[in-house]
Amino acid sequence: MTGTLPPAAGDQYVPLPGAHIVTTRALLAARENLTDAIDARAMMCVYGDAGFGKTLAVNTCLRELEPGEEVRRIAFRSRPTARAVRHAIFTALGLAGGPPAHPSEFDRLLIDALSARPRTLIVDEAQWLNSDAFEYFRFLWDDYGTQLAIVFVGGQGCRTVLRKEPMLASRIFIWQKFSRLTPAEVLQVIPLFHPVWETATPEDITFADTHAAHGNFRSWAWLTAQVLTGLKRLRRQHVETDVLRWAFHRLGEA
């Protein structure tokens, strides 16, 4: 999806009525880091394995920090050329008319648009970017006229590629790695994540994390959806070991 930030309801990969965004240490750090990067009109890299809550944290924080039209999101699903990056930014900014045919004209149009007022670009799935694409973002950010903050969000590959580009890596203001929840964090935040876990025992939550969720928020969302179905199918009122085992089978974790 390219354009403005998506609605908050779209942050979860699985529809999960009743779920709450919980304030983890990583989310608190992201809010502080994003505030500093935006204030400095700097570049930031948020990276980590899939399902650890990177995109959700960035979207949630930026809705609070930069509401309205100042934030634009770009996501790539394959390795883009510089031309594809130009067109993605053009679309994200919602510029009028057709994109220029000549690269130098296209560059000038984008620089003028990004100089008109402060902007924040979220570049999601940034692990797909190659050297040329990263270099193009650096080119735009380096221009004296642009008032641009850029947040690269991606897997471990995002950091690896960035580190191979010394000119760009030296300009990254903040690096933030997202990791899996520790066992202690799981016991603290999962009862706040969804009402179904409020009455679960610490032993059952630890059992669920050890056998299925593994400190991964996306896995916890999928598990929660299966547990809600399991409670209905097994006619139970609360999470119990047999309900968890039923859910594990559906997730291939038996």
Helices (H) and strands (E) in the chain, counts: 11, 5
The answer to whether the pTM exceeds 0.75 is: yes
Is the predicted pLDDT of residue 72 greater than 70, yes or no?
A: yes
| Same domain (yes/no): 173, 187 | no
Which of the listed residues 150, 178, 206 is the one where a domain comes to its end?
Answer: 178
Q: Write down the pLDDT at residue 8.
A: 65
Quick one: pLDDT at residue 113? 95
Which tokens go with 134?
Answer: 């990263």
pLDDT tens-digit readout, 151-210: 999 987 888 888 888 888 899 999 999 999 999 999 999 999 999 999 999 999 999 999
Residue 1 in any domain: the answer is: no
**What band does 9 get if pLDDT is binned at 50, 70 and 90?**
low
For residues 157 and 144, state if they share a domain: yes
Question: What pLDDT sits at residue 167?
Answer: 87
* Confidence bin at 10 (pLDDT 50/70/90): low
CA distance 46 to 25: 14
pLDDT at 156: 78
One domain, residues 62 and 151: yes
Residue 215, in any domain of the structure: yes
Q: Using H for helix, E for strand and C for coil, what is the string for 6-45?
A: CCHHHCCCCCCCCCCCCCCHHHHHHHHHHHHHHHCCCEEE
For residue 68, name the pLDDT band (cuts at 50, 70, 90).
low
Domain enclosing residue 218, as ranges: 183-250
One domain for residues 14 and 104:
yes
Answer for the pair 254, 248: CB distance below 8 angstroms, yes or no: yes
Residue 227 has pLDDT above 90, yes or no: yes
Give the count of domains, the chain: 2
Q: What CATH number is given to the structural domain containing 94?
A: 3.40.50.300
Question: Hey, which of 8-22, 174-188, 240-254 has the most confident mean pLDDT?
Answer: 174-188
What average pLDDT does the chain have? 90
Q: Is residue 148 part of a domain?
A: yes
Last residue of a domain, one of 114, 147, 178: 178
Same domain (yes/no): 169, 187: no
